[in-house]
Amino acid sequence: MFQNKKRKRKGIKEKTDLVSVFSGLKKVVFKNAPRKEKIKKTTKKIIKKQETRKILKKTENKFSKQTVVSDQSLDLFDNIKNAVVVYEPRKNGKEFYLKDFNRQAERIEGILKGDVVGKEIRKVFPKVIEFGILALLKESYETGEPQYMPQGKYVDRNGRVSFRENYIYKAPTGDIVSVYDDITEKIYTKEKVREKEEKYSYLFNSIKDGIVRVDMKGVVVDCNHAFLDMLGYSRVEVFKLSYLDITPQKWHAKEAEILKNQILPRGFSDPYEKEYKRKNGTIFPVSLRTWIIKDQKTGVPTGMWAIIRDITEKKKNETELEKNEEKLEEIFDNSPIGIELYDEKGVLNKVNEKILNIFGVSGEEAVEGFNLFDDPNIPKEQIKLIKKGVAVKYENVFDFEKVKKFRLYKTKKTGKIYVSVSITPLQKGRAGYLVMIEDITEDKNSQIQLKEKMEQMEEMNRLMIGRELKMIKLKQEISLIKKDKNR
C-alpha cells in the first residue's frame, strides 16, 4: 500500500505549503479545548529538532514557488502521529477540496491519497454534514479562528462507526487544515471502564455491610453508604476522622497488635470483633476484616480496606440464646424425669441427675460411651422403629441383672423396676436421640396391690351374696312349714 521513503506518488502534484501547515499547527490555540497542551507538546517535539527546522526553511522557499515537496518534507508530513488533511476552500468557503492527505489519514480512512486529492469533501466523506466537521471548516475559513471537536461520531460509507477528535485551523496560505485522531478504541475503553465503575459503585453502595478505606495514618479516604449510615456521619464529616476517632479507647491496643502481627506481615487480618462509636456517642459491636493496599509499581503500602458488619442483633441473639440455654440446663438438671441425650450414632452424650438415681449410677463417667442400641432392656421392635426415625413410647420391666450380665455399666441397684420410656429421634435421628425415662415401680406396685384388693373384695362380695341367697331360701322354707301347720 505504501512505497519506499524515496518514492514520489505518481500523477500527484503536491503543492501544499507544509511550512504553513506546521507553523499553523504550532500556533493552534483552541477555545475550551482540554487537549490543547497535548497539541503544543506534539508540535514542540516536531519543531524542536534542528534538522526539521532546516527542512522546513528549505521547503518554504520551494512552496512559495509552488514546487514539488521534497522527500524529506514529505516524510515529516506523512510520519507524524496525527492524521492531517489539508482542504482548499472554493466558492467563498462553500466547498472544500482535498489538497493533501497524509499516511496516518490513509490508515484511518482506509483510502489512498491519490484516490481523494482534488475531490470535494462530500464526495470523499458522504456523512460529513451529519458528522459536523463541514460547519467547523466553514467557521474557521470565515473567522480565521481555530475550531475543536472533542468527540465526534463518524459513520463512513460502509456503515462503520468510529469516533474522531478534530482540531481545525486556517493556515497562512488560506488552506484549512484538519488534524485529527481516531479515538474509537479510547472511547470504547472508557465506556468499558465507565460500565465497570458503575457496577462497582452500585455494588459498593448497595451492599449492606460497611466498606471503608483509610490511608496508612488511619484517616478515612473512601467509604460506602452503609458505613455512613452505621456511624451517623455525613461523607464530609467522616473524611475528617481516623479509625481511632470511631473506635473506643479500650480497643486501640488490640487493633495495633492486629496491624503489627497480621495485616502488615501477611497483607490481611483474620475476622475479628471490636466496637465502634457513633456520632451520637452510642457504642455498638462490629465484626470486620482488614486488608492492605499496595502501590502496584513500588509495592509500598498506601492504605487499607475493611469490611465491617454491625453485629448488634447477633450479640442480642447470642445473649438471649445463652439465657435460654441456662434455663434449659436448669430444667434438664432438675427435671423429675430422667433425660438422656444420644448422638446420631446412638452414643450417650449427656444425662441428668435423675437418670443417675434411677439406674443407681455414681456419675456420668460411669456410663460414658454407652450405646442406645446395645441396651438389652429395650424391646427389639422398638429399636427397629427408632432406627427408622419413628418416635416410640412404651412401658417395660428393666432388669438390672441384664446390665451386670452384659457389663453395660456399674450400678448399685439389683432386681427389677418398672419404667415408662419415651424415645424421640431428633431430625429423624440425624441430630441424635432424646430419651425420657420415668421410674413407675411404685405406681405399678400400687396398681398390683389395688388389683389384689379388688379381687379380694370381689371374692368377699361373692361369698356374702351366696350367704344372702341361702338366708332367703331358708326364710322361704320356714314360711312354707308354717303354712302347712295352719292347715
Q: What is the pLDDT of residue 75?
A: 63
* pLDDT > 80? residue 407: yes
Q: What is the pLDDT of residue 311?
A: 95
Angle, nearest 10°, between helix axes 18-26 and 50-64?
Answer: 130
Give the best-scoring range by mean pLDDT among 61-70, 75-84, 107-116, 277-286. 277-286
Q: What is the pLDDT of residue 3?
A: 34
Q: Are 213 and 303 in contact (CB under 8 A)?
A: yes
Q: What is the pLDDT of residue 447?
A: 79
How much is the mean pLDDT over the chain? Answer: 82
Angle, nearest 10°, between helix axes 71-78 and 50-64?
Answer: 110
Q: How far is CA 337 from the centre of its chain?
A: 50
pTM of the model: 0.50
Stretch 350-354: mean pLDDT, rounded? Answer: 93
| Percent share of the chain, pLDDT over 70 | 82
Burial class (CB in 10 A: 0-12, 13-18, 19+), 213: middle
Separation of first and last alpha carbons in the chain: 168
DSSP reduced 3-state for 418: strand
CA dist., res. 243 & res. 240, Å (int):
10
Stretch 400-408: mean pLDDT, rounded? Answer: 87
Q: Are 206 and 229 in contact (CB under 8 A)?
A: no
Q: Are 426 and 434 in contact (CB under 8 A)?
A: yes
The C-alpha cell that represents 289 in the structure block: 476484616
* pLDDT > 90? residue 200: no
Give per-residue pLDDT as tens, 118-142.
999 999 888 888 888 899 999 999 9
CA dist., res. 437 & res. 435, Å (int):
7
Q: 137: part of which helix (H) or strand (E)?
A: helix 133-143
CA dist., res. 24 & res. 176, Å (int):
10
Q: Where do the DSSP E strands lie in 73-157?
A: 83-90, 95-101, 147-155
Q: What domains sit in the chain, N to C, each tagged with a CATH number? A: 18-184 (3.30.450.20), 207-315 (3.30.450.20), 335-439 (3.30.450.20)
Q: Where do the DSSP E strands lie in 91-191?
A: 95-101, 147-155, 161-170, 176-182
| Percent share of the chain, pLDDT over 90 | 48
* pLDDT > 50? residue 79: yes
With cut-offs at 50, 70 and 90, classify the pLDDT of residue 53.
very low
Helices and strands, number each (H, E), in the chain: 19, 15
Give per-residue pLDDT as tens, 264-280.
999 999 999 999 999 99
With cut-offs at 50, 70 and 90, classify the pLDDT of residue 34.
very low
With cut-offs at 50, 70 and 90, classify the pLDDT of residue 72.
low
Give per-residue pLDDT as tens, 204-262.
787 889 999 999 999 999 999 999 999 999 999 999 999 999 999 999 999 999 999 99
CA dist., res. 289 & res. 209, Å (int):
11
* pLDDT > 90? residue 463: no
Task: Return the percent helix, strand and coil in the chain, to nearest 5.
Answer: 45, 25, 30
